[in-house]
Amino acid sequence: MSPIYIDQNEILKRYKPIDAHTHKGIQGHALIIAGSYGKIGAAVLASKGSLRTGCGLVTAFVPKCGYQIVQIAIPEAMVLTDVEKKYLSAIAFDIKPQAVGIGPGMGQEEPTQKALHEFLITNNIPLVVDADALNILSKNRSWLTLLPSKTILTPHPKELERLIGEWDSEEDKFEKTIAFSLHYDVIVVMKGAPTHIIDAETVYRNTTGNAALATAGSGDVLTGIITSLLAQSYEPIDAAILGVYLHGLTADIALPETGYQSFLASDIILTIGKAYLSLENLE
């Protein structure tokens, strides 16, 4: 297994500069399904990450307790609420998003597990699956076959272990993840230092990012970034590659100002603009 390095060359092959005549109606609508009582912040971080990455519209689907929080934290986002107060129990919406990001801060209550199952049975919108949605799938492995082809899964190492089982070496970890990607026809973003992306037998290795990203919510923001790119019509593999690269690049750009310790997940969101601008300068 020799990886393809995700560097400036790989990014410029994939990056699509903005069309001067675009408008919010064709710039992509991302739906973020996330949050539970005490973890509405995860929905806020993912939704804000989506908006800053350039999709035209973002809707957050959250439990009722998240309504005011998201509206106040992000006036640009629209909010739909579940019937339940503290957790998700029935995922229903009458909008037509081009991509859905599901899982950050969602918890694993029984009704939430059922809601995810029912959503997956009918959903055919391109999907990013993270955090508790991954943990629920690990507990209900037969539901993995319901994922649309080339769904993007974004596990951190513990979530990956829950999905593929324990590994006894790095090589074994990659072999198991490749087998998983092939079996379920999904893209696996193996988050870490560095992050690898597995698309069937192809392995990509990211070249951006640093230890400043070891902070609460940085994965939630990545989910928002990749969902936004997917909503903007990037192919799933390109959304995963560009998303992971931009996410890491924000930490590299911000580091001289924040240092490792004081960097927050919100700084990723604030620095996405500079990360994009650095791509424009490369062209």
Ligand X SMILES: NC(=O)C1=CN([C@@H]2O[C@H](COP(=O)(O)OP(=O)(O)OC[C@H]3O[C@@H](n4cnc5c(N)ncnc54)[C@H](O)[C@@H]3O)[C@@H](O)[C@H]2O)[C@@H](O)CC1
DSSP H helical ranges for 98-169: 110-122, 131-139, 157-164
Nearest-approach distance from CB 128 to Mg ion, in angstroms: 12
* Contact present, 49 and 228 (Cβ < 8 Å): yes
Cα separation, 37 vs 199, in Å, equals 34
- Restricted to residues 94-133, the positions that interact with ligand X (CB under 6 A) are 104-106, 131-132
* Contact present, 2 and 180 (Cβ < 8 Å): no
Does the protein bind ligand ADP through residue 108 (CB under 6 A)?
no
Give the one residue of 107, 155, 219, 243 binding Mg ion; rule: CB under 5 A: 219
Does the protein bind ligand ADP through residue 217 (CB under 6 A)?
yes
Residue 149 CA, distance from chain mean position: 16
Does the protein bind ligand X through residue 217 (CB under 6 A)?
yes
Give the one residue of 10, 82, 84, 220 binding ligand ADP; rule: CB under 6 A: 220
Nearest-approach distance from CB 120 to ligand X, in angstroms: 18
Give every CB contact of residue 197 below 8 A, 6+ residues apart in sequence. Answer: 6, 187, 188, 189, 190, 203, 204, 206, 237, 240, 241, 244
Q: Which residues does the annotation place in the binding site for AMP? A: 191-195, 219
Nearest Cα neighbor of 174 from 185, 162, 164, 186 is: 164
Whichever of 131 and 197 has its CB closer to Mg ion, that residue is 131
Does the protein bind Mg ion through residue 131 (CB under 5 A)?
yes
| Strand, coil or helix: 95 | coil
- Restricted to residues 20-49, the positions that interact with ligand X (CB under 6 A) are 39, 41-42
Q: Which stretch binds ligand ADP (CB under 6 A): 59-67, 161-169, 191-199, 225-233?
A: 191-199
Token pair of 83 as six digits: 């019937």
Give the one residue of 111, 148, 192, 273 binding ligand ADP; rule: CB under 6 A: 192
**Which does residue 158 touch among ligand ADP, Mg ion, ligand X, none (CB within 5 to 8 A, set by kind)?**
ligand X
Q: How many residues bind ligand X (CB under 6 A)?
A: 17
Distances (CA, A) of 188 to 68, 91, 148, 170, 199: 34, 24, 13, 16, 7
- Restricted to residues 166-205, the positions that interact with ligand X (CB under 6 A) are 192
Nearest-approach distance from CB 251 to ligand ADP, in angstroms: 7
Q: Nearest-CB residue to ligand ADP? A: 219
